[in-house]
Structures are given as C-alpha cells and as structure tokens.
Structure 1
Amino acid sequence: MSIDQQAGREADKRFNRGMMLRLVVIVAVMFGFGYALVPLYKKICEITGINVITTRELHGAVKNTQVDKSRTITVEFDSNARGPFAFRPVKNSMEVHPGEMATIVYEVANGQPRDISAQAIPSYAPKQATQYFMKLECFCFKQQTLKAKEAREMPVVFVIDPALPKDVKNITLSYTFFEVGAPVAQAPEGQLAPQPATAGKGI
C-alpha cells in the first residue's frame, strides 16, 4: 500500500469518526429537546390558559373551593303528576353543604300506548330560597317526549349558593310534571263536546 493510499484511509476514518460524533450530538440534542418539551408545554398552557381544564385535572384541582362545610341544608323533594304517567324522585330528601354540587334523580314512566310530551315546572319553599337554588342540569329546561310505555330516569344537578340566609336550613324542591297538548276527549255521538270555560267566568 502506498503512502498516499494509507493517508487517504486515515482521512476517511477521521471523517467517519467526526460524522459519527456529530450524529451522536444531534441525537442527544433532539432527545433533550423532546424531554424538555413536556414541562415547557405545560408552562405555556398555564401562562396562556390553554388546556386549563386538562391541566387542573392532572393536578387533582377540580374542586369547589367555596363549599361551606360548617352548614348543612336538608333538601326535600316532591313531585306532582298532571297527566297519564307516574312521576317521583328516587329519594325524598338529602343533606348538602352550601356550594356543594349534588344530584337527585326523578323517575317517570309513561303507561300509555302513545307518545306523550310533558313539561316540568319547579317551585321552591321557602320562597326566599328560589334565588339561591342553582340548577346546572335539569329535565325542566325543555319539554320531554316519552315514547309509549317508556320509563326514564332524569337527573337534576344543583348547587345551593353559600349566600343562602343562615336561618334557612330546609328547602323543598317540588316539580309539577304536566302533559303538553293533551288530546281532547271525543263526545259520544249525538252529544255536544265540552266547551272550554269562557275567560272571566268562574275560578
């Protein structure tokens, strides 16, 4: 082997070692950047508010910090059906702290061989509790259509405002569930159908 050939091989080896070293450095830098990207992303999310719900869930911070555990309110549940269906709460009462999220489920069953549209109207006792009883989810927000023979569970998610007056210790939530657009009974042949009452007559 000539001197020139030997020198060429040495130069190739040096070049290959240099290239390998550069590749190793590049891989190490890329790995380090990817590793640092996760905390960097989290920090950017915290600053900008992006993905804040996910971040809070990861840290177990999805909690209501305004729950007043020094007070307990007894909430009683009532139901009234104005139509051909069964309607009731799954429990008659529960105890909650002001600011605490709670859920009550009402059951309804349509025993008729036809579909029924119904609407629920809530009421509260005492009256002063009305503005402090906040429903986050409720079947009363819209009309409900029950298929023939259908039974359904309908949740109510609510929070009692901690600003509720201190002297109120019991609240009754009552629903009247009535049929919308009830069909008018047909009069027997030869008889007049009942007429609606004229406004201003009777009570």
Structure 2
Amino acid sequence: VFGPGASGSAVIQDSDNPLVEAVTSAYGGSNFLSSFINIAGLAGLVASFFSIIFAYSRQTFALSRAGYLPKVLSLTGRRRTPWVALIVPGVIGFLMALTGNGAVLINIAVFGATISYVLMMLSHIVLRRTEPDLERPYRTPGGVATSGVALVLAVLAVIATFIVDPTAAFITLGVYVIFLLYFGLYSRHHLVAQAPEEEFATIEKAEAELAGS
C-alpha cells in the first residue's frame, strides 16, 4: 500500500524486493529502516517454511491415504512421520526453484491459491445447502453471503492471474488437468472408503441404502 506512494510505481514494479526498494528510494539510499524491513521479511519467510512443509506433507499424506494419490505417498516411518510425503514435494519444489524464474513460480503459487479459494467458497456454500443440520463448532459470520462475496473476489483473482501472467496460469492449469485425468482414469476406482477423508461419502452412501430399503 505504502510502497508506490513512497517511491512511485516505476521504481518497484520490476523489483523482487519492492518494499525495501521503496524505502531505499524514498530515503535516498540504504538505511536502518530498509535493513530492518529486509531482515524482518527474511525472518518471516524462513518461519513460514515450517508451516508450508507441515501443510504440504500432511495434505499429500491425507490424499494418498484416501486413494486420491499413489499409496506410496502415505508411507510413514516408525514415528508415524509421513516421510515420503515430506520428501517428494520438497524435491519437486527444489527442482522448480533451480529454474531461477521466481516471478513465474510466484504467479503459479498465486494461481493455485486462488483456485483453492474458489473451491473452498463453493464447498462452504454447497455444504450449507446440502448439510444444514451438520454440527458446526464455528459458523462463518454472514453465512453464505460472506462466502458468496469471497467467491466473487476469488474468481476475479483467478481472471487477473490470466491477465498478469498467462504462462503461469496455463502451466498451473496443465498440472490440474494431469491430476484430474489421474483421478478420472485411475484413483476414483481405488478410493479407500474407510479413510477419514471419505467420511461424508460413506455416511451418504449408508443413508441412501437405508432409504432404499
């Protein structure tokens, strides 16, 4: 927000470190504030690595356990650590980082995130409609109206990604298509009904069988 006002958009539009560049430009050179922002930003980035590693490994493990991804990704060690789900995505991320094209990688991550936001908002709306009596320890303020507004904003963000970086958008779409083909041709026939991730599907199937009988 303050970066363009401090130094003008021309200074920071192509910068890999826009906030530091803005402060440096505004004060005529490197200073304590720009150094502090740089160090604080680096510390925050390093700290976020731990949450990212935890999130991607557990998500990969859960999808594998339920049958959506190859079973090997849900292997665990003697301490129940999903070591394969930790290593494989990490290696993929490392190899992508070696390309040195940070801007495209960031836009790929942003596009993937905005797609996930769209799916989360749709899931919230669908569940509120199809499972109105489901126990909910937390209820979204505003309900479906809030998720509806968020859905519109997320869709706009997806469209913006195509405008800003079509290459990144199409690369991400290509990855989605590959996983959808894998699901359609293979994994949907090998889902694990007893997996916690399939709880809703199992309950719905049981209710349908009871209603039919």
TM-score range, shorter chain: under 0.3
RCO comparison, higher one (Cα < 8 Å, 6+): 1
Which structure is higher in helix share?
A: 2
Larger radius of gyration: 1
Structure 2 length-normalised TM: 0.21
Which structure is higher in strand share?
A: 1
